[in-house]
Amino acid sequence: MSGATKYFPFFLTVFTLSFVNTVAATEPVFDDVELSNKPLVSPTRLQQPLRDIPASITVIDEYAIKTLGFREISEVLRLVPGMAVGQASGNDYRISYHGGNGLVPRRMQVLIDGMPIYQAGYARVDWKNIGISIADVARIEVTRSPSSATYGANAFNVVINIVTKSPALTQGIEWRQDYTTRDAHESYARYGSVIGNTHYRVSVSARGDSGYDNNAAGADRRDGSELKLFNFSSHTAMDHASLDVAAGVANGDNLVEFADSRQISFPDSALHNGFVDMNWNGETSSANSLKITASYVRALTHQDWQSCYPLFLETDEMRALAVANPDYALAIVNRKQPSGGTAEDAALYQAALNKIKSLGPRANISECGSINQNQIDESFLTEVQDTYVVDKNLRYAVGLGNRHNRFESKTYVNGTVRNDDTYLFGTAEYIWGSFVFNIGTMAEYQHHYTDGVEFSPRAAINYRIDDRQTLKFIVSRALRTPDALENDRDWSYYVSNFTVPFDGKTSGYFFYRALSTEQLKSEKILSKEISYFANFPDHGVTLDIKAYREELEDLISEKLQFLDYHPTNDGWLNNTGAEIEVHYRPDSRWIFGATYAYQDSDTNNAYERMLYARHSGSFYAIWSATSSINMSAAYFSSSSIAGFPYDRLDIGAEKTWSPHLSTHLRVSRLATQSGYIVDYQTHVLNRDHSLYEATVGATLSF
């Protein structure tokens, strides 16, 4: 991996200190937790230890997140083998698993406590504005395998479940303040209490940063952000049942440099997001349990700016021509002679020329006005799941649900697009001797996007070599349905507040209109995996090794461009690779973690390799020097992505002064080329000329 040899002396020192401290330690500092025995529900909807889960799964807990000093949930994902974490700008993360389209990475499902936050209307996850603070996160579970059998369309090749802390474990008051040398800050406050049999937590936070220093041309980047969060969570215990309620509101402001080549003001965006999630869990008998879920997620983006174009581009005649034949309209703009159209196209073409001629010199004066890219993305989810334990060897979960998606934008779809995703799912686990069989499938009917029912099956056989080691053989199929901009595109810009009124108008449409021309199919993936999982508690080692082959077809790989966007299902991508994840705990004072991923990709579209690295990995070490001092180091690296390697080294320390007060200091060496991928608008990498970053902060609780 690039740059690894530069830090060999540092790692040698760490391991030397590990040996010395093993001899000198007199008292344990943190409790021993067997990760493999910790029940997880992300991959199958059944509680299973890691050895029985039909997938490779990475779990990053609160202790690692806090001690390694992560400030963004997106940055935590650098600890996941095979995950690429890039940024097109300071407030625009591009995250993908196993490469894929780096322009709009949209082939993953992201959950908060099982609630989907993937925005189906525009097929994205807004990583910078996820509606919870990292201080409320208990752990992050990453299922590194297609999981449409469990979570439906768009759980394409990875599922990230962000699990928040239990209200019962976050009682009292906590306040935290962080500052960095690169204009980043975060304030966080939390209060937890109990009323009767209900534990609850309320938290508020505010964070911001100034983004990247410069672009490749050396000019200042304008990509900072500010975000304010409010979150509520409660757990109510009842006889043989419980009710969990969560809600959150996020308001943010992002500075944006570019949206339009003729802009005369910056297209900054304001975000107003929110969610409500309710889960009722009840035991109907000793062998049967029922879960009822209802959630609502809303993401509103308000983005407008001022722009100037030649007046003739705002005429009704140019608009009519562009709707009938875009190539004829572009021929006028580019001063070329069109061909191949119909007689009607020719008549509209002549009418547009006549209008331009009648305007005379005014035709090319700058007509300025206000345009926007406002949008609302909403989803309403209801689901019922029944889990039944037949005997000690057989159990299953079945259920049904509906997710209603609503996408509203006058710019992108000229109104509102609605889609109902109705689904049935089932998953079962059967144990026969040393074998554990897992099968599952989901049947979905998307009323607006598909002609019939689509199935996403998964089958796995786990062989328990002994009580510590398991071999896993997994085959799964998943899909991603097209979003509104791909299938329902009616993309045009309405310009208001003309600076030069004409024909009695002060507003009107920009001439070009990008319309969907055909119904696209769902993207598909077939994955075949072999993995080895081992847990050796006597030696403090947990190991996961995975080899895989993925075949992706019917991919929509084209670039999302207003004037030239013709999506097809012609893309394909084949991935072959291996991943290793190991955790080592030699004693109660040390924790080590390391990952490595190798991947070979073959594709017919260059965009599918934009977030691809042949080699990538991470290493971290946490040392509890005394009962009140923790120290940590983390290193992340990858081979060339978009022509640039990535290396980063973090070193941190935390001091606990009393049960109520702790302070922390962290220094990071940043990569000299901090952007992972090419900015899809400016075609340049972002740069940070400040090679070092220091973070200081304090936590007060009582």
pLDDT, tens digit, for every residue of 320-351?
Answer: 999 899 889 999 998 888 888 899 999 999 99
Taking a C-beta distance cutoff of 8 angstroms, is the pair 302, 372 a contact?
A: yes
**Is 354 part of any domain?**
no
Comparing C-alpha atoms, which of 204, 222, 196, 86 is closest to residue 135?
A: 204
Identify how many contiguous H helices and E strands the chain contains and give both numbers: 8, 34
Res 24 pLDDT > 50: no
Res 3 pLDDT > 50: no
Buried b (16+ CB within 10 A) or exposed e, 311-342: bbbbbebbbebbbbbbebbbbbbeeeebeebe
**Burial class of residue 448, CB neighbours in 10 A (0-12, 13-18, 19+):** middle
* Angle subtended at Cα 48 by Cα 44 and Cα 54, rounded to the nearest 5 degrees: 50
Q: Which of 108-122, 240-254, 682-696 has the highest mean pLDDT?
A: 240-254
**Domain count for the chain:** 1
- Quick one: tokens of 654? 């935390």
**Burial class of residue 526, CB neighbours in 10 A (0-12, 13-18, 19+):** middle
- CATH code for position 27: 2.40.170.20
Q: Please write down the HEC assignment for all residues of 530-576.
A: EEEEEEECCCCEEEEEEEEEEEEEEECCCCCCCCCCCCCCCEEEEEE
- The pTM of the full predicted model, rounded to 2 decimals, is 0.89
The rounded distance, in Å, linking the Cα atoms of 62 and 191 is: 18
Taking a C-beta distance cutoff of 8 angstroms, is the pair 110, 73 a contact?
A: no
- C-alpha dist (Å) from residue 413 to 255, 396, 496, 514: 25, 42, 18, 10
pLDDT band at 680 (very low <50, low <70, confident <90, very high): very low
pLDDT at residue number 701: 77
pLDDT at residue number 340: 87
Taking a C-beta distance cutoff of 8 angstroms, is the pair 174, 133 a contact?
A: no
Direct distance between the N- and C-terminal alpha carbons of the chain, in angstroms, rounded to an integer: 44
Comparing C-alpha atoms, which of 374, 381, 375, 373 is closest to residue 405?
A: 381
Res 10 pLDDT > 80: no
Average pLDDT of the residues in 586-610? 92
Name the CA radius of gyration of the chain, rounded.
27
Q: Which of 58-72, 89-103, 683-697 has the highest mean pLDDT?
A: 58-72
pLDDT band at 415 (very low <50, low <70, confident <90, very high): very high
**Is 597 part of any domain?**
yes
| One-letter amino acid for residue 564 of the chain | D
Comparing C-alpha atoms, which of 648, 654, 649, 642 is closest to residue 679?
A: 642
Length of the chain: 702
pLDDT at residue number 342: 92
The rounded distance, in Å, linking the Cα atoms of 404 and 420 is: 4
**Torsion of the alpha carbons at 98, 576, 520 and 683, rounded to the nearest 10:** 50
**Torsion of the alpha carbons at 580, 584, 590 and 596, rounded to the nearest 10:** -10
Phi, psi of 349 (to 5 degrees): -60, -45
pLDDT band at 627 (very low <50, low <70, confident <90, very high): confident
The percent of residues in the chain predicted with pLDDT above 70, rounded, is: 88
**Burial class of residue 467, CB neighbours in 10 A (0-12, 13-18, 19+):** exposed
Half-sphere exposure of 465 (CA within 13 A, CB side): 10
| One-letter amino acid for residue 599 of the chain | Q
- C-alpha dist (Å) from residue 427 to 4, 348, 368, 398, 555: 43, 58, 58, 7, 28
CB count, 10 Å around CB of 121? 26
Whether the CA torsion 608, 610, 613, 614 is positive or negative: it is positive
Taking a C-beta distance cutoff of 8 angstroms, is the pair 291, 113 a contact?
A: no
57 vs 219, more confident? 57
pLDDT at residue number 86: 79
pLDDT band at 32 (very low <50, low <70, confident <90, very high): very low
Kindly state the greatest CA–CA separation across the chain. Answer: 92
The rounded distance, in Å, linking the Cα atoms of 58 and 97 is: 13
Q: From start to end of 124-215, where are the E strands?
A: 137-143, 159-164, 172-180, 185-195, 198-209
**Burial class of residue 20, CB neighbours in 10 A (0-12, 13-18, 19+):** exposed
Res 284 pLDDT > 70: yes
pLDDT at residue number 650: 83
| Residue in the block written with tokens 């937590």 | 201
Res 675 pLDDT > 50: no
Collapse the DSSP code of 79 into the 3-class scheme (helix H, G, I; strand E, B; otherwise coil) and give the result.
helix
pLDDT at residue number 216: 60
Average pLDDT of the residues in 307-329? 92
Taking a C-beta distance cutoff of 8 angstroms, is the pair 657, 629 a contact?
A: no
Comparing C-alpha atoms, which of 416, 382, 425, 419 is closest to residue 404?
A: 419
- Quick one: tokens of 102? 């780096």
1 vs 302, more confident? 302
pLDDT at residue number 691: 54
Res 674 pLDDT > 60: no
Q: Across all residues in the chain, what is the average pLDDT? A: 85
195 vs 26, more confident? 195
The rounded distance, in Å, linking the Cα atoms of 700 and 657 is: 10
Phi, psi of 506 (to 5 degrees): -115, 5
- Quick one: tokens of 487? 């299938």
pLDDT band at 236 (very low <50, low <70, confident <90, very high): very high
Res 1 pLDDT > 70: no
The rounded distance, in Å, linking the Cα atoms of 591 and 63 is: 11
- Quick one: tokens of 286? 């000793």
Q: Which structural domain range is residue 188 located in?
A: 4-307+373-701
Res 449 pLDDT > 80: no
Res 91 pLDDT > 80: yes
**Is 365 part of any domain?**
no
Average pLDDT of the residues in 530-541? 94
- Say which residues have a Cβ less than 8 Å from residue 572's Cβ, sequence separation at least 6: 551, 552, 553, 554, 555, 603, 604
pLDDT at residue number 50: 86
pLDDT in tens, 419-448: 999 999 999 999 999 999 999 999 999 887
pLDDT band at 231 (very low <50, low <70, confident <90, very high): very high
**Is 313 part of any domain?**
no
**Is 317 part of any domain?**
no
- Say which residues have a Cβ less than 8 Å from residue 666's Cβ, sequence separation at least 6: 69, 650, 651, 652, 653, 694, 695, 696
Q: Which helix (H) or strand (E) holds 296?
A: strand 288-310
Res 561 pLDDT > 90: no
**Is 350 part of any domain?**
no
pLDDT band at 115 (very low <50, low <70, confident <90, very high): very high
**Is 321 part of any domain?**
no
pLDDT in tens, 483-495: 888 888 899 999 9
Comparing C-alpha atoms, which of 576, 585, 483 is closest to residue 119?
A: 483
**Burial class of residue 445, CB neighbours in 10 A (0-12, 13-18, 19+):** middle
Res 35 pLDDT > 50: no
pLDDT at residue number 692: 62
**Is 194 part of any domain?**
yes
